[in-house]
Amino acid sequence: MLDFPSLHSDGKTMRIKLKNEQLDILAKRLRFEVMLQQPRDVRGMLDVLGKEMPWDDAGLNKFDDSPRRPGRLTFSVEATKDGYICDIHPALAQYLHTLLAPE
């Protein structure tokens, strides 16, 4: 389950917590093996997943006035004992939610 404890006051970023098990599921969506050992690794994986995110088709642009995907989707990643706290674009949070939803 994605944890969405706060939406930052600027409305442009959302803070979520991804557990290690969730990161393993997301890593399997890529065509290569991802080594998730540091926050920078998680940030890179989220950036790659964000490039694949449908922008106009899925209505994810409702979080931004621009019809184009924003240039930056992942803002910061911090390690916790059982996962990572990530500040990401709300559209990326919604996309991750759909990727992690049970089928």
The total of structural domains in the chain comes to 1
Amino acid sitting at position 100: L
* 18-33 pLDDT per residue, tens: 999 999 999 988 888 8
Counting as low any pLDDT under 50, the low residues of the chain are 1-2, 4-9
Structural domain for 64, as ranges: 3-100
CA 76 to CA 84: how far, in whole Å? 10
Of the candidates 4, 16, 98, the residue with the CA atom closest to the CA atom of residue 52:
98
Asked if residue 95 lies in contact with residue 86, where contact means CB atoms within 8 angstroms, the answer is no
pTM, entire model: 0.77
Task: Say how far apart CA 47 and CA 70 lie, in whole Å.
Answer: 11
